[in-house]
């Protein structure tokens, strides 16, 4: 057997025999079960155990590998700088049996996942709001610090119909920047993506590659209250309708390149896209199903084919 085949076989054996493992820079492995994490149990609140493991991973700049199944927990987990979490995928049929993806099964009312440090990476997983009462799915949260160079890849954020699925929240002289999002899928939410810097903070130069926002329950699919040079490449926004319109840019700038917007059941009195007077230099290109577009800002360009 050649070296490449031996390596691949070793990886397969590792993944099949390790339910939940964290690998640190010191090459020591830990099992999250050692912290009390219980997979596939609706009766166990894993918040405390999961947080202890995440804190250890932050100390070690560890990568946590999670096998198939769900982890039920009831309070926000905080992912600090330097942590990487790799799941086993989004499963055959997300959030239903067989649970052969990795599911963060959240039953609380706050944010399911808070990323509060730089260089955090999440991939191949589902963040699921089991009770539909959470305020946020994944929130990148900076408070008098800088959250930068974080990545999400192949992540499904599902069922946050009482809040924001993917939230950027910067306050108290802070910033969120240089983060990248690859094939992030948002299904059923009150707000799909929300960008909300306060007057002392910035949210700039974050990039979204492909990604889909769909399902029901939306007030807005994308709501922006500030920031600039946040770029959406090939993003698909296709709930049939929303309460107030699909894209609402209250302040700042976005760039949408080759995006696709579907709104076939949106009332004709509501804007598919609304660029308010405090927007400037937005650029949106791609395709849409038709509907009202309002542009009250400065130097904004909208070029969508019907």
Assigned domain for 204 exists: yes
Q: Indicate if the pLDDT at residue 3 is higher than 80.
A: no
**Average pLDDT of the residues in 219-225:** 98
Token digits for 14? 């590792």
Query: Would you place residue 248 in the very low, low, confident or very high pLDDT band (cuts 50, 70, 90)?
Result: very high
pLDDT tens-digit profile of 207-221?
Answer: 999 999 999 999 999
Do 200 and 52 sit in the same domain of this protein?
yes
Whole-angstrom Cα distance, residue 71 to residue 127? 10
Assigned domain for 13 exists: no
Do 73 and 158 sit in the same domain of this protein?
yes
**232: number of CA atoms within 13 Å, CB side?**
24
Do 148 and 243 sit in the same domain of this protein?
no
Q: Which residue has the higher pLDDT, 18 or 270?
A: 270
- How far from the centroid of its chain's Cα atoms is residue 181's Cα? 8
Assigned domain for 5 exists: no
Residue identified by tokens 């007077």 is 277
* Range scoring the smallest mean pLDDT among 193-202, 224-233, 260-269: 260-269
Of 209, 233, 262, the last residue of a domain is 209
**Average pLDDT of the residues in 95-113:** 94
Quick one: what percent of the chain has pLDDT higher than 90?
A: 82
Do 222 and 205 sit in the same domain of this protein?
no
What integer best gives the mean pLDDT of the chain?
A: 91
Do 193 and 87 sit in the same domain of this protein?
yes
**pLDDT for position 26:** 54
* Range scoring the smallest mean pLDDT among 4-13, 170-179, 279-288: 4-13
Q: State the CATH number of the domain containing residue 151.
A: 2.160.20
Whole-angstrom Cα distance, residue 40 to residue 20? 12
- The alpha carbon torsion through 287, 184, 108, 81 (nearest 10 deg) reads -130
**pLDDT for position 30:** 56
Do 194 and 228 sit in the same domain of this protein?
no
Do 173 and 222 sit in the same domain of this protein?
no
**pLDDT for position 8:** 44
Q: Indicate if the pLDDT at residue 113 is higher than 80.
A: yes
pLDDT tens-digit profile of 15-25?
Answer: 443 456 666 55
Of 190, 209, 228, the last residue of a domain is 209
DSSP class of residue 149? Answer: S
Q: Residues 272, 273, 279, CA angle at the centre, nearest 5°?
A: 165
Q: Of 194, 137, 203, 138, nearest to 170 (Cα)?
A: 203
Q: How far is CA 257 from CA 209, 303, 304, in A?
A: 10, 10, 10
Do 181 and 249 sit in the same domain of this protein?
no
pLDDT tens-digit profile of 139-198?
Answer: 999 999 999 999 999 999 999 999 999 999 999 999 999 999 999 999 999 999 999 999
Do 111 and 258 sit in the same domain of this protein?
no
**pLDDT for position 62:** 84
SS3 at position 57: helix
**pLDDT for position 50:** 96
Whole-angstrom Cα distance, residue 60 to residue 194? 31
Of 179, 209, 239, the last residue of a domain is 209
Domain that holds residue 164: 18-209
Q: How far is CA 238 from CA 86, 211, 254, 260, in A?
A: 28, 11, 18, 8
Token digits for 2? 């050649």
Q: Of 159, 168, 151, 156, nearest to 85 (Cα)?
A: 151
Domains: count for the chain = 2
SS3 at position 50: helix
Whole-angstrom Cα distance, residue 298 to residue 279? 6
Q: Of 189, 192, 290, nearest to 248 (Cα)?
A: 192
**pLDDT for position 204:** 98
Assigned domain for 4 exists: no
Query: Would you place residue 306 in the very low, low, confident or very high pLDDT band (cuts 50, 70, 90)?
Result: confident
Whole-angstrom Cα distance, residue 212 to residue 256? 13
Q: Indicate if the pLDDT at residue 244 is higher than 90.
A: yes
Do 296 and 242 sit in the same domain of this protein?
yes
Token digits for 65? 């590998």
């Amino acid at each position: 057997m050649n070296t490449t085949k031996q390596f691949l076989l070793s990886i397969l054996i590792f993944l099949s025999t390790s339910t939940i493992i964290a690998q640190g820079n010191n090459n020591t492995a830990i099992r999250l079960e050692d912290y009390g994490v219980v997979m596939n149990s609706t009766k166990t609140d894993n918040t405390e155990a999961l947080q202890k493991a995440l804190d250890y991973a932050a100390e070690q700049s560890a990568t946590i590998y999670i096998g198939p199944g769900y982890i039920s927990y009831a309070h926000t987990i905080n992912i600090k700088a330097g942590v990487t979490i790799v799941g086993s995928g989004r499963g055959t049929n997300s959030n239903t049996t067989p649970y052969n993806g990795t599911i963060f099964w959240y039953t609380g009312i706050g944010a399911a996942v808070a990323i509060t440090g730089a260089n955090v990476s999440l991939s191949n997983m589902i963040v699921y709001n089991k009770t539909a009462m959470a305020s946020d799915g994944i929130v990148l949260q900076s408070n008098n610090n800088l959250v930068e160079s974080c990545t999400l890849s192949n992540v499904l954020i599902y069922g946050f119909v009482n809040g924001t699925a993917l939230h950027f929240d910067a306050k108290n002289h802070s910033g969120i920047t240089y983060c990248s999002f690859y094939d992030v899928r948002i299904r059923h939410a009150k707000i799909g993506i929300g960008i909300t810097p306060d007057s002392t903070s910035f949210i700039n130069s974050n990039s979204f590659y492909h990604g889909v926002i769909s399902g029901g329950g939306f007030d807005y699919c994308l709501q922006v209250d500030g920031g600039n040079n946040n770029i959406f490449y090939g993003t698909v926004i296709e709930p049939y309708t929303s309460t107030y319109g699909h894209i609402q840019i209250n302040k700042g700038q976005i760039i949408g390149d080759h995006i696709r917007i579907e709104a076939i059941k949106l009332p004709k009195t509501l804007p598919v896209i609304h660029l308010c007077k405090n927007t400037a230099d937005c650029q949106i290109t791609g395709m849409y199903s038709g509907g009202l577009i309002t542009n009250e800002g400065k130097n904004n360009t909208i070029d969508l084919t019907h």
